[in-house]
Structure 1
Amino acid sequence: MSKIKNEKALLKKAMQIGEAYAVKAGYHSFSATDSADQKVECIYRLLVHDKLLTPLPQDQENGVNMKHRLVKWIAGKLPKDHPLLQ
Structure 2
Amino acid sequence: MKHGKHDAQLLKLALDIGVGYAKKRGFADFDKGISPKDKVECIYRLLVQDKLIQPLATDKEDGPNMKHKLILWIQRQLPEEHPLKD
Aligned residues: 86
What do the CA deviations read for 1:9-37 (whole angstroms, capped 9, x no partner)? Answer: 00000001000000000000000110000
Cα offset, 1:72, TM superposition: 0.5
What do the CA deviations read for 1:61-85 (whole angstroms, capped 9, x no partner)? Answer: 0000000000001001100110111
What is the TM-score normalised by the length of structure 2? 0.97
* In 1: Cα distance, 2:16 partner to 2:83 partner: 16
> Match of 1:60?
60
Cα offset, 1:2, TM superposition: 1.6
SS of the aligned residue for 2:81 comes to: coil
What is the TM-score normalised by the length of structure 1? 0.97
> Match of 1:30?
30
CA RMSD between the two structures: 0.7
Moved over 3 A (4+): none
Percent of aligned pairs sharing the same letter: 51
Gaps of 5+ in 1: none
Gaps of 5+ in 2: none
1:10 and 2:34 aligned = no
Asked if the contact 1:18/1:43 (under 8 Å) is kept, the reply is: yes
